[in-house]
Amino acid sequence: MKTVRVKLSPDAEEVYTYLNKEVGKTPSGKRTKEQQIFEAINKKVELIKANFHYGQPISKSKIPAEYKRKYGLTNLFWVNLPHFWRMFYSLTEGEQEIEIIAFVVEIMDHKKYSKKFGYKK
């Protein structure tokens, strides 16, 4: 059985770091939007590790040219997060024969998602 390792792109890492910092500012007992999203990302990462096809596939024709150019992606999956956020990841071969990399490309809110994928309001 292949192991699954999850890596974050610099863009995804930036959002993840921001959310993590916001969680640290949260008063005890109150869960903010950022905390809910941060916790959901961590849960989804574990689900992806358990089943790398967990997310919904995006047809190859809908993969943004920016992702193809920047990362050389040939596949893309999306996962729902709270507050209409989305997390996008791609699967690639790992450095070892028994490894799959789930590469988190981007984590974004619905407004940015709609714009990037060409959906209307």
Write the CATH number for 55.
3.30.2310.20
Mean pLDDT, rounded, for 56-78: 94
User: What mean pLDDT is reported for the chain?
Assistant: 89
Residue 104 lies in a domain: yes
Say if 55 falls within a structural domain.
yes
Task: Look at residue 91 in the predicted model and tell me its pLDDT.
Answer: 93
Residue 56 lies in a domain: yes
Handedness of CA 75, 49, 101, 13 (dihedral sign): positive
Whether 69 is in a domain gets the answer: yes
User: Tell me, what's the pLDDT at 1?
Assistant: 65
Q: What are the pLDDT digits (tens) for 38-63?
A: 999 999 999 999 999 999 999 999 99
Whether residue 100 contacts residue 91, with contact meaning beta carbons closer than 8 Å, is answered with: yes
Model confidence at 35: pLDDT above 80:
yes
Question: Sign of torsion, CA 66 68 70 71?
Answer: positive
Q: Is residue 35 part of a domain?
A: yes
Q: Into how many domains does the chain fold? A: 1
* Secondary structure letter of residue 26 according to DSSP: P
Q: What is the pLDDT of residue 99?
A: 76
Residue 33: pLDDT over 80: yes
| Contact criterion met (CB below 8 Å) for 92 and 4 | no
pLDDT at residue 115, rounded to an integer:
87
In a domain, 102, yes or no: yes
Closest CA to 91 of 70, 106, 76, 110: 76
Domain that holds residue 48: 3-116
Q: Establish if 121 belongs to a structural domain.
A: no
Q: What percent of the chain has pLDDT over 70?
A: 91
Task: Say if residue 95 is exposed, middle or buried (CB neighbours under 10 Å; 0-12, 13-18, 19+).
Answer: exposed
pLDDT of amino acid 26: 65
